Structure 1
């Protein structure tokens, strides 16, 4: 199968939450989790979670979200450095992908994206960005960055938040069809359902190539 199903959550993965997903939706092949705690936004992943997920044969999709805007080359470098710092702190090996969480209401520009990608380039990690290609100005900023530096298009992996047809079980997941920028882009992940009622998770489909880069 070329596409893989999984979930993400801002809350810690406990055995109860894992079993909730297992019972209500199916076994997740991966689980998106945050690298550090951000008050009122996300709980940082713990060593216990890592063990629980890896013991369940569930890979981890690492997310960094301790920032509130995405403008300026130097700010892009700072977010990249902080993302890489937390990955190393947690023992994530090089060769894996790390996502920055860019919300639809964030200010973002091409310089920030270029700074983010440039800083990742020598680190051994692969850069990713969670984004909304419909609401907000991500798509314009991204295509501007690509026109300035083709390395953005070749190195960066995108995780699209649109469209949002709604949460489903693993078996009923839609065919992979995320919204994409109108320029060259590696859109390898799609968050197609948000805020499930049965468990505190979102549902996702990713390309097998991305699955191979997960922790």
Structure 2
């Protein structure tokens, strides 16, 4: 990943230099003495991306390059932290796109993940960065098991927790949202999911199977119940601005702006046709709500009983997944 910082003045004819720092205070790459921009390249591992900031300060005196020793000292000076810091930017966390799946069925039945869906998905599609699974057992899907949690830990796999223990048309009313949040946060605590992790509520579109549509008060109830327990509220729904969910979302955000800034959205639209592997996954492009909201995940293919029977997803690394 390439990082870039920009100053509002040209540093070329000044005593100042600019550098990019990671969250541990280490200078990333070399400090920059000329121009308005400074860039650095970093390699990100699995898990959440670190935070970075830029600073302007004095570079250590540069050595004479006429000798090999001088060249080494000059490189060391450029890699040394800046002194006498004059300005520092706010810390930012760059996002990268994670590839994953979600499933009704367990990802595996054993802690080594030697059988069932996990090795099948890895072999046919590629190794997932995360896996969406249900917190509790529903009429159609078993809740996540201890074996799945152990397998996720062994394979450094993020878990996207989903709550769906209710009739899909019953997604209206503040008290209903709070009640569902109580069930989800209780299940999350029982599984040992740390606070701060996102908990997604599954909001299906109204239609033949789900006759009722979500309303703004339900969204606010889920937000209050989940955030009040220390977790991060998330919403899986049709992210299209004109959809039932999209309209309810914007009504809730207009009433309470903190719902937008304190929640995460996962859209199942647009839903694409065909089979995609990790290597051929589409560019991240979920439908967006027509107001403020952090759209950080996209279910771009619905399984519909395919083999392997998983939905395909992408998510931004800022989504606070559970890493057992």
Task: Give the match's secondary structure for 2:161.
Answer: strand
Match of 1:208 in 2: 317
User: How do 1:1-215 residues align onto structure 2 when only pairs under 5 Å count?
Assistant: 2-14=96-108, 15-40=115-140, 42-67=141-166, 68=168, 69-105=170-206, 106-134=212-240, 136-166=243-273, 167-195=275-303, 197-210=306-319, 212-215=320-323
Query: For this pair of structures, how many residues does the alignment match?
Result: 213
- Higher Rg of the two aligned structures: 2
Inter-partner Cα distance in structure 1 for 2:175 and 2:119: 42
Task: Give the match's secondary structure for 1:209.
Answer: coil
Q: Structure 2: 5+ residue runs without aligned partners?
A: 2-95, 109-114, 207-211
1:204 deviates by 0.3
Task: Give the match's secondary structure for 1:190.
Answer: strand
Inter-partner Cα distance in structure 2 for 1:206 and 1:147: 26
TM-score by length of structure 2 reads 0.63
Inter-partner Cα distance in structure 2 for 1:96 and 1:124: 8
Inter-partner Cα distance in structure 1 for 2:220 and 2:295: 17
1:213 deviates by 3.5
TM-score by length of structure 1 reads 0.94
Inter-partner Cα distance in structure 2 for 1:194 and 1:140: 23
Inter-partner Cα distance in structure 2 for 1:198 and 1:57: 24
Given that residues 100 and 128 in structure 2 are in contact (C-alpha distance below 8 angstroms), is that contact kept between their aligned partners in structure 1?
A: yes
Task: Give the match's secondary structure for 2:116.
Answer: helix
**Higher relative contact order, chain-length normalized (CA < 8 Å, sep 6+):** 1
Query: In angstroms, what is the RMSD of aligned CA positions?
Result: 1.4
Q: Hey, which of these two has a bigger chunk of helix by percent?
A: 1
Inter-partner Cα distance in structure 2 for 1:28 and 1:13: 11
Task: Give the match's secondary structure for 1:129.
Answer: strand
Given that residues 194 and 322 in structure 2 are in contact (C-alpha distance below 8 angstroms), is that contact kept between their aligned partners in structure 1?
A: no
1:119 deviates by 1.6
How big is each residue's C-alpha offset from its partner over 1:54-109, in whole Å with a ceiling of 9 and x where there is no partner?
Answer: 21111111000012221011111001111101101111111211111001124210
